[in-house]
Structure 1
Amino acid sequence: MVIWPTLTLIGFLVLTALVIAMGTRSTARYEAEQRAAAARPSRARSAAPEAATATALL
């Protein structure tokens, strides 16, 4: 009977394609978030010296 090996192969190929599609989408979203974070200025760096100065005066 050739049907079970054929169904197994088709199932494997479908699941492999699903994993690849999910990984591609997830990677694209991660890279877009990284680019967006790099594009906006960091406010934490500019606020840190002011906080250090304020605590030094106490």
Structure 2
Amino acid sequence: MMLWPAVTLIGFLVLTALVIAMGTRSTARYEAERAEVASGPRHAAEPVGATATA
């Protein structure tokens, strides 16, 4: 008798957790892209391992 309300509640909680996880990931990616645009791409001045010769 209480099976379907329990299944409904568990399904709702699982879907809510999925939406929160997807939103968190999307927001983190958006903020990282926006920070890169604001500060410019992060490139090293010299390639790793490069040495200056005189």
Task: Tell me if TM exceeds 0.5.
Answer: yes
TM-score (norm 1): 0.68
- The one-letter amino acid of 2:7's match is F
Which structure's relative contact order is higher, taking Cα pairs within 8 Å and 6+ residues apart? 2
Secondary structure, aligned partner of 2:50:
helix
Percent of aligned pairs sharing the same letter: 10
Please state which structure has a larger fraction of its residues in helix.
1
Q: CA deviation at 1:30?
A: 0.6
TM-score (norm 2): 0.72
RMSD after superposition: 2.1
- Residue correspondence of structure 1 range 31-50 to structure 2 within 5 A: 31-41=26-36, 42-43=41-42, 46-47=43-44, 50=45
Query: Which consecutive unaligned segments of at least 5 residues does structure 2 have?
Result: none
- Aligned residue pairs total 49
Query: Which consecutive unaligned segments of at least 5 residues does structure 1 have?
Result: 1-5
- Residues 10-46 of structure 1, C-alpha deviation per residue, up to 9 Å, x if partnerless? 1100000000110111111111001011111232xx2
Q: CA deviation at 1:57?
A: 3.2
